[in-house]
Structure formats: structure tokens, C-alpha cells
């Protein structure tokens, strides 16, 4: 039985608590790294992470990329959409096809 | 192809021929796998992109609603309101095998049966904006879960496609030509050996006949 976590700064994620997701507000890099490692090994199937923190923890996230769980998914934070999520999708097209043939013109 | 030392024997030839057949077969199978994976991946990634755009737009508007809700009431009340969630979501992770890639299938269970049972607070001290904000976030949640599933599947499949493509290329451009080259080399060497031994035999025969009949002295 897995759970769902939301990781990010408090202002971006406090709403998810109402839906029954576990929210983990973080404010420093070390804290976030530690939290992510703990969540990934602690029975969380999906970890939503705000884009700005995903950028900070890029290295850690890549480790889980080829594992079945957890699925680490970027979501835009309160500061607005940085486009990192879309870029992630484009990147996986690039890995598979060799170049971004689907979304390059958009 | 002379980089590797090959012993030109019949046994080596049989071995290489068998290797070539296997390589060809593997190449064909892997190519089929790659093509099918690619087809499914392209379908999935389009869905992924659409979902992502929808989710990002949804979260953006939900965030706006939350900011408005937060502005309308003091922080302590808001924190208290969201402190003890009523709803709890748990996740069942299944696996689906798509062309030997295991992709996750997420199935969610909510603690209470009513999906609308999301307001973890009494309505007396909170603004109605908060209700709207929570609702807008709750509406986007199913899509978020779907997004998690497809995006993870896309990542896994992309990695697998890359691996398969490398294998196909290695077989096509290295292993198969190498085997063909080896076969050619061995066959030529064997033919050459056969010719030279035939010539040697003819020569020996000539010499033996000469010895027995002394043709050259008769003339």
C-alpha cells in the first residue's frame, strides 16, 4: 500500500493536505534532499515536487528515473510555471526518438 | 576485419555462420520491438503532454484561488482549517508489461467513499473562497494521478527505446558485418588451401610418373 507525497515550499503545497495527500514543506536544500530520499524509500508511490525544488534536486531525482516507483512528478509552484515540466516531457521524447519531433514547433 | 585473429578452419566457419543467423534473427526481433515501442511511446507521450498542460493550468488556477482565500482570512484560521485532513488517499501500484517494459498502474483509494468529502473544516470561520480553492484542487487530482502514471511510463519507455535502439544499431553495424566478413575470409582461405593442396598433389603425381617412366629421357 503506497501513499502520495507532495514536496515543496509551504505556500505552494498546503492546499494538497486537504485532499488527503501528505505534504512535506521544505525550506533548505539539505532538508529537501534528506526528505526526498526518505520519501522515496518510505512507501510513497508518487511524489509531486514543485518545479523550483525539482531543479535543486535534479541529481537526486535522476536516480529514481528508471525505477518503477516512486514516480517523481513536477508541478508548478505558487511562483508560476517555469516550463520545467513540459521540458521534461520533451526530454523523454528526445531520449526515445533522438530529437524532439513532436513538440518542437510549439 | 583483420583486427581479430581468426583461425580459418571449418569449425570456425560453422560457428560464425551460426552466430550470423542468431544475430540476424535478434536484429529483426529487436527492430520489431523498437518499432512497436516507438509507436506506443508516441501515443503515450502525446497524452502525457495534453495531461500536463491541463494539470499545470489547473494547478495555476487553484493556486490563484488559494491566494485569494488566504487573503480573505488570517493565516492561523487557514492553518487550522487545513490541519487535520478528513480525506486520505492511498495508492495501489500495479504493473503492466508493455513490450517487456514494466510500467506502473496507479489505483487510488480514498478513505471515505464520497469523493466530495474534502472539506476538513467547519464552515463558520473560513471564507467561501477556501471552499472553492479546495474544490478546484480536488477536481484536478484525478488528472494529476493520471499524469503521474503516464509520465512515469513515458520515462521508462524512453529509456527502454534508447537501449533497444543501441542494440539494434550494434547488431546492424557491428556484429552482422563482422560475421559476414569473417565468413568471407574463412571461405576464401579454405578455398585457397584446397587449391594449393590440389596443385601440390598434381605436382607430386607428375614427379612420381617421371620417376617411374622417365618421360624426359625418351625424347
- Residue A80 C-alpha, separation from nearest chain B C-alpha, in angstroms: 7
Mean pLDDT over all residues of chain A? 83
Q: How far apart are CA B84 and CA A3, in angstroms?
A: 17
Residue B118: predicted pLDDT: 66
Residue A98 is assigned to a structural domain of this protein: no
Residue B113: predicted pLDDT: 62
H-state helical runs in B73-127: 75-81
- Say whether residue A46 is in contact with chain B using an 8 A CB cutoff: yes
Higher pLDDT, A88 or B217: A88
Residue B88: predicted pLDDT: 75
CB spacing of A97 vs B59 below 8 angstroms: no
C-alpha cell of residue B61? 488556477
Residue B183: predicted pLDDT: 94
Domain holding A12, by residue range, is 3-79
ipTM (interface predicted TM)? 0.86
Strands B101-110 and A71-75: unpaired
- Residue B106 C-alpha, separation from nearest chain A C-alpha, in angstroms: 8
Q: How many domains does chain A have?
A: 1
Q: Which residues of B touch A103 (CB under 8 A)?
A: 49
- Alpha-carbon distances, residue B136 vs A66, B55, B173 (angstroms): 32, 11, 54
Query: Which parts of chain B register pLDDT below 70?
Result: 1-4, 112-118, 120, 122-125, 219
Residue A29 is assigned to a structural domain of this protein: yes
Residue A24 is assigned to a structural domain of this protein: yes
Residue A74 is assigned to a structural domain of this protein: yes
Residue B117: predicted pLDDT: 66
Average pLDDT over residues A34-48: 86
CB spacing of B85 vs A20 below 8 angstroms: yes
Higher pLDDT, A102 or A19: A19
Q: How far apart are CA B48 and CA B44, in angstroms?
A: 6
Residue A48 is assigned to a structural domain of this protein: yes
- Say whether residue A55 is in contact with chain B using an 8 A CB cutoff: no
CATH assignment at residue A59: 3.40.50.10580
Residue B106: predicted pLDDT: 85
Residue A103 is assigned to a structural domain of this protein: no
Chain pair A-B, CB pairs under 8 angstroms:
144
Whether the predicted pLDDT of A14 surpasses 90 = no
Backbone dihedral region of A43: left (phi > 0), alpha (psi from -120 to 50 degrees) or beta? left
Q: Which residues of B touch A86 (CB under 8 A)?
A: 49, 52-53, 56
Residue B116: predicted pLDDT: 64
Residue A18 is assigned to a structural domain of this protein: yes
- Say whether residue A4 is in contact with chain B using an 8 A CB cutoff: yes
- Say whether residue A84 is in contact with chain B using an 8 A CB cutoff: no
Across the interface, of A16, A65, A89, the residue whose CB is closest to B45 is A89
Q: Using CA of residue A85, residue A86, residue A91, residue A92, what is the dihedral sign?
A: positive
Peptide bond into A70 cis (omega under 30): yes
CB spacing of A93 vs B144 below 8 angstroms: no
Closest listed residue to residue B87, CA positions, set B119, B62, B63: B119
* Domains of chain B, start order: 10-194 (1.10.287.3240)
Amino acid at each position: 500500500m503506497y501513499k502520495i507525497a507532495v514536496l515543496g515550499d509551504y505556500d505552494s503545497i498546503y492546499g494538497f493536505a486537504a485532499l488527503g495527500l501528505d505534504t512535506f514543506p521544505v525550506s533548505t536544500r539539505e532538508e529537501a534532499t534528506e526528505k526526498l530520499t526518505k520519501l522515496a524509500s518510505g512507501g510513497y508511490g508518487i511524489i509531486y515536487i514543485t518545479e523550483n525544488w525539482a531543479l535543486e534536486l535534479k541529481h537526486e531525482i535522476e536516480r529514481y528515473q528508471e525505477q518503477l516507483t516512486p514516480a517523481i512528478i513536477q508541478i508548478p509552484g505558487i511562483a508560476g510555471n517555469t516550463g520545467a515540466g513540459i521540458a521534461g516531457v520533451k526530454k523523454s521524447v528526445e531520449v526515445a526518438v533522438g530529437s524532439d519531433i513532436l513538440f518542437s514547433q510549439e | 576485419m583483420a583486427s581479430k585473429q581468426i583461425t580459418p578452419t571449418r569449425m570456425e566457419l560453422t560457428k560464425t555462420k551460426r552466430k550470423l543467423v542468431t544475430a540476424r534473427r535478434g536484429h529483426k526481433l529487436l527492430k520489431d520491438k523498437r518499432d512497436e515501442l516507438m509507436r506506443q511511446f508516441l501515443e503515450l507521450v502525446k497524452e502525457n503532454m495534453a495531461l500536463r498542460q491541463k494539470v499545470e493550468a489547473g494547478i495555476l488556477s487553484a493556486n490563484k484561488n488559494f491566494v485569494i482565500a488566504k487573503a480573505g482570512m488570517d493565516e492561523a484560521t487557514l492553518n487550522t482549517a487545513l490541519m487535520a485532513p478528513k480525506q486520505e488517499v492511498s495508492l495501489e501500484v500495479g504493473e503492466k508489461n508493455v513490450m517487456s517494459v514494466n510500467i506502473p498502474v496507479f489505483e487510488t483509494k480514498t478513505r471515505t467513499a464520497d469523493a466530495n468529502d474534502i472539506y476538513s473544516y467547519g464552515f463558520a470561520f473560513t471564507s467561501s473562497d477556501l471552499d472553492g480553492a479546495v474544490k478546484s484542487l480536488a477536481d484536478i487530482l484525478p488528472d494529476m494521478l493520471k499524469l503521474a502514471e503516464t509520465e512515469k511510463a513515458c520515462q521508462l519507455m524512453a529509456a527502454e527505446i534508447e537501449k533497444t535502439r543501441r542494440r539494434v544499431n550494434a547488431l546492424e553495424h557491428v556484429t552482422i558485418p563482422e560475421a559476414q566478413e569473417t565468413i568471407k575470409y574463412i571461405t576464401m582461405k579454405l578455398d585457397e588451401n584446397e587449391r594449393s593442396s590440389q596443385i601440390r598433389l598434381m605436382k607430386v603425381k607428375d614427379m612420381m610418373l617421371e620417376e617411374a617412366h622417365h618421360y624426359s629421357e625418351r625424347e
